[in-house]
Amino acid sequence: MNLLVMENHDGEGIFPLFKKGAVVSDMKQDNEYPVYPHWFACVIDGHATYIPETYVADGLLTRDYNPTELIVKKGQRLTLLAVVFSWLYVKDEKGVEGWLPASKAVSI
């Protein structure tokens, strides 16, 4: 599915790819962002980040995961790769992948 960005998004930094089986610690609901249910603040390999609850079982990643948010500008076109609890995993025209809040894009 193709998307059109309706609002700029700057992201919160670039993260490495965490491999399936990595330890996820300090997982807790973040009251600062209550608009994103089913996402939790956590620490993976020393990196403070966020993760959808379905990507963790018994304190371990259930799949490879990169929490990097894609930096986009209004009017940019993207390809939808996945939808996970109000966030989109997308790819830009250069092939760069990352996360974007669903509220910032529409299907075209």
Q: Whole-angstrom Cα distance, residue 94 to residue 78?
A: 10
Report the alpha-carbon distance of residue 31 to residue 6 in Å, rounded.
26
Q: Which is nearest to 53 in space by CA: 74, 73, 69, 30? A: 30
Query: How sure is the predictor about 34, in pLDDT bands with cuts at 50, 70 and 90?
Result: low
**Does residue 33 register a pLDDT over 80?**
no
Residues 74 and 103 in one domain: yes
Tell me: the pLDDT tens digits for 51-108?
999 999 999 999 999 999 999 999 999 999 999 999 999 999 999 999 999 999 999 9
User: What pLDDT digit, counting tens, does each position of 12-27 carry?
Assistant: 889 999 999 999 999 9
Phi, psi at 50, each rounded to 5°: -130, 155
Domain that holds residue 81: 2-12+68-107
Is residue 29 domain-resident? Answer: yes
Does some domain include residue 19?
Answer: no
Residue 77 falls within a domain, yes or no?
yes
Residues 40 and 57 both lie in one domain: yes
Q: What is the DSSP letter of 7?
A: S
